[in-house]
Amino acid sequence: MRARDFAIVVGTGTPGPHNAITDVPGVRVGHTTLVAGTGPRVVGRGPVRTGVTVILPHEGSAFDEPLYAGVHWLNGNGEMTGMPFLQEFGLLASPVGLTNTGSVGVVRDAFVEIEVGSLARGRQAWSLPVVAETWDGLLNDIDGQHVTAAHVKEAYQSASGGPVAEGAVGGGTGMICHGFKGGIGTASRVVDGYTVGMLVQANHGRRDRLTVNGVNVGRSLPASGLANEEAGSIIGIVATDAPLLPHQCRRLAQRAALGVARTGGAGENSSGDGFLCFSTGNRNLPANALDARGPRTFQVTVLADDYIDPLFYAVVEATEEAIVNALVAAETMTGADDLTVPGLDGASLAKMLNPGA
């Protein structure tokens, strides 16, 4: 269940039909979830509480049809591969993968394998894939590196539009957020004829700072007992069909940090808080920014900056709601060394937000 199933409405904006990143036409999401074993942690054997999430930015091949994109880090104790290229050329030229810290490499290499396997054009693959991470080492045998290339390909092949599974799924399987079970969450807003979608992998925040719709609910909840709650991270992926240039995508990505702040996140010293935004508003860009065979000039459509504020507000609201959805959707989980992390009950949260109802 999600926040709105409990009448928890974040902000004043209008969500898309699925209130998900997939409301942006062409965007698809796939998960592979790995849950196995119980009891004491044995490196390489488990217990396993992890996975991978893949976001496909449009219905074609992102390797062949890049999109304008931008990135922003609130705090840089994290990893998102492919950033030098993305920041230099303003292009997203791969799917986006989300996983745990120890599995970034295998997901990145699997993306390269997927591109090589799709080639039928007489050219060599050229790819610097985007893969981001948060650390799931409390619930998961992270050092066992249980995510494989086959798991990545399964998530890639299963990616679809429509409703998105949330909570303890995919890359979010073993994540903890504000002292509760966290994971994957998504939301969207429709403004001025454009759609803005957000997907988060939420693994951050202290319980006593948890805030929803401006109400600090965390201080009214029992302490979690988890050490260094604030030492987690959050990754957010923003998608929009508004025709934006790379610097405008970066500006939207930056506003996602405000949504994190609204829920009580602060980009603490040990947190890796990275946000990437891509725009599907200009397709048919040159397939490779380094390929001299491309056109010497080409035309794009651009939203004037004077009209961008509604998109900023949409990102802030969608980020806050995506985090709340991740919390409400994730159920209590027991993982490695019998550590149990409770889910946040949506009905109880709704009563705290509206005690007179």
Q: What is the pLDDT of residues 115-131, one digit of tens each?
A: 988 765 556 778 899 99
Window from 53-57, 221-225, 272-276, 300-304 with minimum mean pLDDT:
221-225
Catalytic machinery residues? 233, 271, 273
pLDDT of residue 213: 95
Give residue 227's pLDDT. Answer: 73
Residue 18, burial from CB neighbour count under 10 angstroms (0-12, 13-18, 19+) = middle
Structure tokens at 320: 């806050």
Neighbours of 216 (CB within 10 A): 13
In 95-231, alpha helices (H): 104-118, 149-158
Average pLDDT over residues 277-304: 82
pLDDT-derived band at 22, boundaries 50, 70, 90:
very high
Query: In which band, very low, low, confident or very high, does the pLDDT at 290 lie, cut at 50, 70 and 90?
Result: low
pLDDT for the residue 122: 57
Instruction: Give percent of the chain above pLDDT 70.
Output: 96
User: What's the pLDDT at 120?
Assistant: 54
Q: List the Cα angle 280/252/58 in 5-degree steps.
A: 20
CA-nearest of 313, 198, 304 to 255 is 313
Between 227 and 226, the more confident residue is 226
Domains and CATH numbers, the chain: 13-332 (3.60.70.12)
Q: What is the pLDDT of residue 242?
A: 98
| CA atoms 268, 97, 112, 36: torsion sign | positive
